[in-house]
Structure 1
Amino acid sequence: MLGPLASLKILDFSTLLPGPFASLLLADMGAQVLRIESPSRMDLLRVLPPHDHGVSASHAYLNRNKRSLALDLKQPEALEVIKRLLQDHDIVLEQFRPGVMERLGLGYEALKAINPRLIYVSITGYGQTGPYKDRAGHDINYLALAGLSSYTGRADSGPLPLGMQVADVAGGSLHGVIGLLAAVIARQQTGQGQHLDVSMTDCAFSLNAMAGAGYLACGVEPGPENQVLNGGSFYDYYRSRDGRWLSVGSLEPAFMKQLCTALGLEELAGLGLSPLPAQQKQLKEALKVEFERHDFAELCALFAELDACVEPVLKLGEALRHPQLKARELVTQVPRGDGSMQVQMACPLKFSEGLPEPKHIGAALGQHTDQVLGELGFSLERVEALRRNKVIL
């Protein structure tokens, strides 16, 4: 089984999370991804703990199914290798700051001249234009500038660090994959490639979906705990007597009725749709009191039998054991390369024709250098000369 993207061959110059998560999705769907890595400037993800068998678990997951070519792009001879690769690798994914690839002679215009069908995807924090294009940033900064952090959190304590990289993944990775595949479809129609400028801040800004629409059309400024879905209503998390939490999303009247009946609060069921802050506060306080009268296990058992949009806040290990996630086969076994297997999260996309089995965990730095150069027609003598000159690892 080759997968739906088996015809795509991608040169991946990215590191850390946004680009690698994007190319992971592509590789899981069958694309042939070749990572171009620096022999001297290590991808920090390779050393990120925790480690399994001496390998970063994050790196092993995010870079599975990809080959690794260790190539010093600052060396003139490296351009020869890239030019040869561009004969059949017609997609480039890069994550450098604007201008870096141009200084290396690997910018879009230079590579387009070699292969006009080239699709060139640049993922950056702030995009290729604008006053912040050369500014450093991380996920928390992109969410802050995009306005998302201003209404995510508690009114008395401020924004919350979310623990997951929303701008990196939902912004850079997923939007990057969507744009890349759209460019592939356009190329099928026109024969021409193009340059895709993906800004994680831009894409995070688009995630303001409902709040942004309300502000732009109606001037309603969102703030912490002042909207239905951000803690300004009963829609929230509630603590059990033994200190665990449950999520309550019983927005529709039928769900609210089940929730209130289960907790002996039938008389308050009509407050669920009330736009009045005082009534929302009354309902919320009543729910808080009732949840804190019961232990977590008791509440889980109670709501497991109801369709009330109430679910427990599970620890990651508990989530992995949950029957729904197990039924969806969200965990897979991936070969380490030594005959053993590593347990990893599986590709979440379900195709009726299936997907190829994972080939291997993230490769060692330069693990496929000799193999790739051999496929390009480089002689053993030429490969050794490149190694002596420290062009390759």
Structure 2
Amino acid sequence: MTQAPQIKVPATYMRGGTSKGVFFRLKDLPEAAQVPGKARDNLLLRVIGSPDPYQKQIDGMGGATSSTSKTVILAEPTQPNHDVDYLFGQVSIDKPFVDWSGNCGNLTAAVGAFAINGGFVAKERIPENGIATVRIWQANIRKTIVARIPITNGEVQETGDFELDGVTFPAAEVQVEFMDPADGEGAMFPTGNLVDDLEVPGVGTLKATMINAGIPTIFLNADDIGYKGSELQDDINGNPEALAMFENIRAHGAVKMGLIQSVEEAANRQHTPKVAFVAKPSDYVSSSGKAIGAGDVDVLVRALSMGKLHHAMMGTAAVAIATAAAVPGTLVNLAAGGGDRTSVTFGHPSGTLQVGAEASQVNGQWAATKAIMSRSARVLMEGWVRVPLI
């Protein structure tokens, strides 16, 4: 039997927000993987441990959830007045593909720290004590993101007392600003409507707000699909019929948003769009046992990622939530009480999150100028990841 040797690739394992992933510098990848294509995808699949029919990713760095099956490649900036290029790859758990169609807002919080530690940011722009501003070019969606990284004694500060629901331990606060967060080059509301009638065979006709902000997202009313908006992961992820329904909705919504041409294409675009459902505030108990009161939030939101209910909230989906909440008449805005707003606090399975967003009408079209949220990030391990030579 021929034995394939293992190669060593410099890598850093990082948590960003409520996600974690394997970070690489482009120049450290094997030469064949330094350009987009099969060699790169195969490398990242093997690093994470996919495809895995057992859906455990035991033989890789993945954690068998959408939040932990992630990779990041950072490179020298291709755009002026930026510090680093950030490319995100969402690795499928049980299928042999990497989805490059969107961003990860949670891991964005770790990109700034990695950029500083990796030498992408000029030393004269890093204070001895204070905040370092890192301008990130998000290469998947071609947008600018600004991360503000706390610095202590000339080094990135990772520990602190900032608490983020969905993350067990406190850490240093990282403020992330998503500039002009509409995803891609098209309209923020691709159908031209704030609310559409979305026809889904086998489900019915549902009211839906479909928005490209942060990440393409389909918002539904919870009660239209038989939910309360206070569900936790086990309420949905253990129900194959429910998951099939959400995937059916996602596929038909993707067609209506113009992201794919046919519902069959949705299977090869798992990362986008997201599906979320909203409800008016009510009391519930989070997955950690924390009591969330109706008065603590403006709206309840639950979102699915890679076919499963997310344990907290994707960072990019949080941008979509805040942006939709800022536009009077969307389902998110109406569930939050309607009217004008520049921020929203929403309840998710792990607790609550506040996100700010600004939106305005320009020539009859809604546009978002920026969205702001606080996250945290930390290096978990650094060195080399080993993979069999493919």
Normalised to the residue count of structure 1, the TM-score between the two structures is 0.24
Going by fraction, where is helix more abundant, 1 or 2?
1
Larger radius of gyration: 1
Normalised to the residue count of structure 2, the TM-score between the two structures is 0.24
